[in-house]
Amino acid sequence: MKIGKYEISPALGLAPMAGVTDKPFRLLCRRMGAGLATSEMTSANPKLRGTRKSAERLDHLGEPGPISVQIAGTEPEQMADFARYNVEHGAGIIDINMGCPAKKVCKAWAGSALMRDEGLVEAILRAVVGAVDIPVTLKIRTGWAADRRNAPLIARIAEDTGIKALAVHGRTRDQKYQGEAEYDTIAAIKQNLSIPVWANGDVDSPEQARYVLDYTRADGLLIGRAAQGRPWIFDEIRHYLDTGEHLPEKSPAEVGAILIEHLEALHAFYGDDRGVRIARKHLGWYAKAHPGSEAFLQMVNRLDGPACQISATRDYFSQVQTGLERAA
C-alpha cells in the first residue's frame, strides 16, 4: 500500500485509539508486524500544545518511519497550523480524525461530528493539505447516523482535495462500537476512488482479515481493539494472508514475556507511578483469555510498585504455563 512516497508493508495498520496507542504500544505493534502505527488523536487547540499529555502523544523519538500523527479539531487554519507544527517535529504523515465517536469530542464538533458539515470537511482538508508537503490522510465513519451514511460523499471530497489515503470504519457515529461493522459502504467507496482505502472495524482474526479484504477490495486493514492484549495479531494476519496457514498460538510463557516487555516500556515512558496505573488496563487485556485471570487481576491491580507488578505478572504466566504442561 502506497501513501505518498511511503510503501506501507504489510498493509496492516494499528488504528489510532485515545489512551491506548501511545508510544510503547506503537513500538510493540510495529515490532510485531504492523506496517504503520498512527499516534493517538491530539487536539489542534494551541492552548493544549504545552500540556504533558500532548507532549507524550507527540513524542516519536526512536520510532520507525513513517511517523503518522493523528490530529483533531474544527477550525481549518488551526488544523493547518498544527499540521505544520507536527511536520517540524518529525511527522511523515498527517492523519485527520473525523471518525472518533466519543461524546466529548463530538460535543466540540470534532471527530465524527464533522461529517455533519461537508462544507467544513472540505475547508479543513484543503487547509491541511495546502499547509504541508507530506501526505495527509483521513479517518471517517460510514456516516453520522444510520439514515445519513454520507461517507461516499466525504470520500469524494477527500480525493478531490488531495487526501492521499482514506480509512473508513464500518459503523456510523451513533453506533459507536456497538453492533457489527458493515463493509458494503467501504466496498462502494473503494470502487469509486483511486486513492488507497483502509478498511476498519471488527477485523479480529486472520480469517476475518481475508474476508474483509476480499469483500471490500480495500488496499489495507486498520486493526484497533483486536490488538489490545494481542499485538502479535499483525504477524498472525500477515502470515495467513501470505501463506493461507496459521502461526502457532502463543504459549502463556510467550504471552507473559511480551507483556513484561510492554510493562517495562510503560514504566520507563510514564515513570513508575503513572506507568503502573496505565499498565493495569493492558494487564486485563492480556490476561483475559487465561485461566485464573480474575483472581490475578484483583491481586495485581492492588500493587503499586513496578517491580511488584512485573514480578506478579511473571509468576502468574509461569503458573499458567506449568498448568498447561501438566494437563498435556
Please state, in angstroms and as integers, the Cα–Cα distance from residue 136 to each residue in 97, 111, 127, 130, 245, following that order: 11, 16, 11, 10, 35
How high is the pLDDT of residue 143? 85
Fold of 252-327: 1.10.1200
How high is the pLDDT of residue 99? 64
What residues act catalytically? 100
Grid coordinates representing 14? 494499528
Same fold for the domain at 2-243 and the one at 252-327?
no
Going from the first residue of the chain to its last (328 residues), give the mean pLDDT of each consecutive group of 10, the final group possibly shorter.
97 95 97 97 86 88 95 94 95 88 45 80 97 97 79 96 96 71 95 97 97 98 97 98 98 98 98 97 97 97 96 98 90
For the chain, the domains span: 2-243, 252-327
pTM: 0.92
β-bridge mates for residue 2, sequence order: 7
Residues 6 or more apart in contact with residue 20 via CB below 8 angstroms: 40, 228, 281
Q: Report DSSP state, residue 168.
A: E
Say whether 169 sits in a helix, a strand or coil: strand
Residue 78 near residue 67 (C-beta atoms within 8 A):
no
Q: CA 98, 103, 104 angle in degrees (round to 5)?
A: 90
Fold of 2-243: TIM Barrel (3.20.20)
Q: What is the pLDDT of residues 19-74, one digit of tens each?
A: 999 999 999 999 999 999 999 988 898 888 888 888 898 899 999 999 999 999 98
Give the integer Cα–Cα distance in Å for 248 and 242. Answer: 15
Name residue, grid cell 476475518. 208
Q: What share of the chain is helix, strand, coil (3-state, %, to 5)?
A: 50, 15, 35
